[in-house]
Amino acid sequence: MAVLVIATHDNASLKEATSKVVSAAAKIGGDVDVLVAGENAGAAAAAAAKIAGVRKVLHADGGTLGKQLAEPMEALIAPLAAGYDAILFAADTSGKNIAPRVAAKLDVMQVSGVIDVLGPKTFVRTIYAGNAVLTVESSDPKIVATVQPTAFKAAGEGGSAAVESIAAPGAGKATFVGEEIAKSDRPELAGAKRVVSGGRALGSAEEFQKVIEPLADLLGAAVGASRAAVDAGYAPNDYQVGQTGKVVAPELYVAVGISGAIQHLAGMKDSKVIVAINKDEDAPIFQVADYGLVADYKAAVPELEGELKKVLG
Amino acid sequence: MKVLVPVKRVLDYNLKVKVKADQTGVDLTNLKMSMNPFCEIAVEEAIRHKEGQPNVAGSHYKAGTVTEIVAVSIGPDQAQETIRTALAMGADRGILVKVDHEVEPLAVAKILKAVVDAEQPQVVILGKQAIDDDSNQTGQMLAALLGWPQGTFASKVEFAGSKVNVTREVDGGLQTVALDLPAIITTDLRLNEPRYASLPNIMKAKKKPIDVKTPGDFGVNVAPRLKVVKVTEPPKRQGGVKVKTVQELVDKLKNEAGVL
Ligand SMILES: Cc1cc2nc3c(=O)[nH]c(=O)nc-3n(C[C@H](O)[C@H](O)[C@H](O)COP(=O)(O)OP(=O)(O)OC[C@H]3O[C@@H](n4cnc5c(N)ncnc54)[C@H](O)[C@@H]3O)c2cc1C
């Protein structure tokens, strides 16, 4: 048995999601290799080699891989599949973009968003916005899956795997034009230990920045949002937490002015501690909140900041 | 150009699903079914590139970019209603590929590939995910089977000659890619706000043609590859407490939950 994990990275650094997918791979069993495909991604490859339990790192480097577009990634990964029983991706926007292309090329039915591995071919995932939990057994000769990183503990460090260079593919029929990637000193939403999210109640982008961001900064938290807040332009699209946005599972999730629609809950209900601030005492968010405060956020959030400053020192 | 828009019939997004007691699946009996919201966005996008937006100054939607919209659904007889909804919104004709059990994304992609081979569209616009199985696979799989480029999770689609520029919602923000046509596009939530079909258009849609086919017509084997072992309820979160004051909240977070 051998499993190939497709690394999540931005060329300069490896993302923690990779170590979490390695843990899922270890549960499948057999040797675990990691593919780092990028442009000038030597540092990410070196970091992958240090993950405990990794046998070998495959490093493909070239101009066609800088943005990890799906077409060259498929061209790179599909031929590698011959040497593996399973190929695992993180269930982030990159993995979701690429994995099904590889699966279809291999005539394999992909398993999306794996939250547990019960055997080499048996996986647990959720459907209907997390309202049902599905266990499936694959009859395909190979497994192609995306793994929900929040559901697995990161593999430790201490490995010293060999890094093997492999050739980068040629260009496909898609080209990178540009990007708007926000730079922020805050932790990344997907892996953050604390998250503060704002909802429609905030009413404007200015208010969102004035209320949610200072509270997040005080807690050292990432900032999230409901779909309603994103649709209305109060927060950027990559803040959306939920069924069709990001799935987070921090130690502390603070929901401010969010009602708690099932689509939102799907993205945060595995948080360890949930705090909800909402002026409607019947808001569904209170059914999942460990600590609910029925209050107007306009008064409650500044007060909360004051109290936090006392205890956080 | 001709655009193909696959549409899926799913449990209405407002309803909460019930897991069957025997753990074989979910119970959809007598529940309202609707078009998957991401598919509605796909239909709307195709229509806007056909009609343009004469009332919106500087709109990137140009009338006549799209000349024909074919809505396809793979599902039971009732999926005809989903196709009728697409026709009432503004699609021109429909194709129903009739299957009475659930079809996995890989088989759906194979059927769609056969439909593409027959219809020769320049673009297929699909929803990025169906809100029932939450797979997020079909568009990408279809792209691979056809050897076409893909622009997934689109928040803006601009046609430019032999290419289409697609702005994508990605983890860090937005990314724009240029795709050679023919191409696959999958929709994200911010691409547009789908219209409601007007009553006259619902009446007109009744006269638009729907072709009925079977997977066998396309030589596609739809036998599932994933065996359902069981379907269960998610673990219930213990209902928490309501705190009366901000002070009490901070005290509990620090001394009871230990997260500060
Ligand atoms: C296909 C599809 C996919 C979706 N995907 C997602 C997703 O991934 N993530 C997501 O979040 N949603 C998603 N949604 C949307 C979801 O159904 C809800 O519409 C959305 O989550 C609501 O956002 P909200 O809670 O901010 O707004 P609302 O539901 O309007 O809630 C606002 C809340 O703020 C409270 N409030 C108002 N004023 C104050 C105040 N002054 N102080 C305190 N509280 C106040 C109100 O009591 C209310 O509870 C999806 C929907 C569809 C159809």
Helix (H, G, I), strand (E, B) or coil at A4: strand
> Among all chains, which residue has been given the structure tokens 């190939």?
A4
pLDDT band at B238 (very low <50, low <70, confident <90, very high): confident
pLDDT band at A183 (very low <50, low <70, confident <90, very high): confident
CA A69 to ligand 1 centroid distance, Å:
32
Atom of ligand 1 nearest to the CA of A298: 41
Please tell me the distance between residue A259's alpha carbon and the centre of ligand 1 in angstroms: 5
| Mean pLDDT calculated for residue range A182-197 | 93
pLDDT grade for A144, boundaries at 50, 70 and 90: very high
CA–CA dist A192, A186 (Å, integer) = 9
Distance, CA of A174 to CA of B145 (rounded, Å): 16
Condensed to tens digits (0 to 9), the pLDDT of residues B153-210 reads 999 999 999 999 999 999 999 999 999 999 999 999 999 999 999 999 999 999 999 9
What is the rounded CA–CA span in Å between residue B67 and residue B65?
Answer: 6
In the reported structure, the alpha carbon of residue A226 is separated from the centroid of ligand 1 by a whole-number distance in angstroms of 6
Nearest to A72 by CA among A21, A37, A45: A37
Nearest Cα residue to B184 out of B84, B255, B93, B116:
B116
Residues A251 and B253 sit within 8 Å (Cβ to Cβ) = no
CA dihedral B172, A126, B105, A86 (to 10 degrees): 80
Give the residue ranges of DSSP H helices in chain B: 37-51, 79-89, 105-119, 138-146, 199-205, 246-251
- pLDDT, residue B236, reads 87
Radius of gyration of chain B (CA): 21
Residue B239 Cα, gap to closest chain A Cα (Å):
6
Helix axes A70-80 and A93-105, enclosed angle (nearest 10): 50
Of B144, B224, B237, the CB nearest to A105: B144
* Cα nearest neighbour of B257 on chain A: A273
Residue A5 pLDDT > 90, yes or no?
Answer: yes
Q: What is the pLDDT of residues B90-130, one digit of tens each?
A: 999 999 999 999 999 999 999 999 999 999 999 999 999 99
Indicate the DSSP class of residue A131: T
Interface A-B, measured as beta-carbon pairs within 8 A, has a size of 259
pTM score, whole prediction: 0.97
Paired with A66 in beta bridges are: none
Any ligand 1 atom below 6 A from CB of A199 = yes
**Residue B4, beta-bridge partner list:** B70, B124
**What is the token pair recorded at A190?**
């997907």
Q: How sure is the predictor about B40, in pLDDT bands with cuts at 50, 70 and 90?
A: very high
Contact B231/A133 with Cβ under 8 angstroms? yes
Q: Note the pLDDT of residue A251.
A: 98
| Distance from C-alpha of B231 to C-alpha of A131, rounded to nearest angstrom | 10
Q: Which pLDDT score, from 0 to 100, does residue A280 have? A: 98
ipTM: 0.96
Question: Is the shortest distance between the CB of A246 and ligand 1 below 6 Å?
Answer: no
User: Which protein residue's CA is at the shortest distance from atom 47 of ligand 1?
Assistant: A280
Sheet-wide strand order for B163-170: A174-181, B173-180, B163-170, B150-160, B183-187, B123-127, B2-6, B68-75, B93-98, B210-213
Are residues A132 and B26, on separate chains, in Cβ contact within 8 Å? yes
User: Measured from the CB, is residue B131 less than 6 Å from ligand 1?
Assistant: yes
